[in-house]
Amino acid sequence: MKSTAILVLSLGLALSSLGNDAPSVNAFTETLSRGPWADLPVRTVGLVRHAKVRDRQATTVAAVKAALGLNPAAATAVVGAIARALPNLAAVAAETAAAEQPKQAPEIALAAAAGARSAAADIVAGVCRAAPAQYEGVAVAVSEVGPGLGKEILRGVAIAQPDLKVPIDRVVAGYSGHVPSVALVLTQAKGTPPVTDPIRTGPVPGGGPLPYAGPLSPVSQAVPSPKYKTP
């Protein structure tokens, strides 16, 4: 009961500091540092949930930064908790966490997508923007959430990596619109050399698994428990 009262008071003090200004990472750090490390994800969700609706996106960014500043190993647990409680903020939480901990980007994306499957494309796009060198690992990790997400995952990759959109579209078209596996499509999309147009001169963007046959149309689970540091 006492710890609950302290948590409510801390949340109130932190949120009262928002006013008309951007949420303060420092204020959130002080709030989140109170209490057991195991409760860090719950306390982070509390900060976001108790913020005004118009402030929730900025609050998510500040709260995730504060939480990971205290315990970087909690990235997947914090993002997963936010995704389950507030799915519409899963992509924001995941992108923020990946920017703070890019080496954990695939695991962060998986945790977010496991909690908010419907936001898979936005999650992949956000995490790939934050950690562009990890785009393949991010996409493959999210594909582990379950079947049927292939096209959404590839759409997210194409948003973050626009140069891959045409190659991805061509590879998928070569499989009659079916995605055999995210890993296979990305491997073929990045590894297929440009195909020479037999009618026009110059390369056809993106190559593909099938010979070029004419002008291109315009391109219009369970989350592993983190290891917490001893406070």
pLDDT digit string (tens) for 173-209? 999 999 999 999 999 998 755 444 344 334 444 444 4
Q: Which domain holds residue 186?
A: 163-212
204 three-class SS:
strand
In a domain, 43, yes or no: yes
* Residue 229 located in a structural domain: no
The answer to whether residues 119 and 90 touch, using CB atoms and an 8 Å cutoff, is yes
Q: Are residues 147 and 39 in the same domain?
A: yes
The model carries a pTM of: 0.76
108 and 63 co-located in one domain: yes
d(CA 214, CA 109): 38
Domain count, the chain: 2
| 175, 63: one domain | no
User: pLDDT tens for residues 148-176?
Assistant: 999 999 999 999 999 999 999 999 999 99
One domain for residues 191 and 154: no
* Torsional class of 207: left (φ above 0), alpha (ψ -120 to 50), beta (otherwise): left
CA 155/CA 140 separation, integer angstroms: 13
Q: Are residues 204 and 212 in contact, defined by beta-carbon separation less than 8 angstroms?
A: yes
Residue after which a domain boundary falls, among 128, 160, 192: 160
88 within domain boundaries = yes
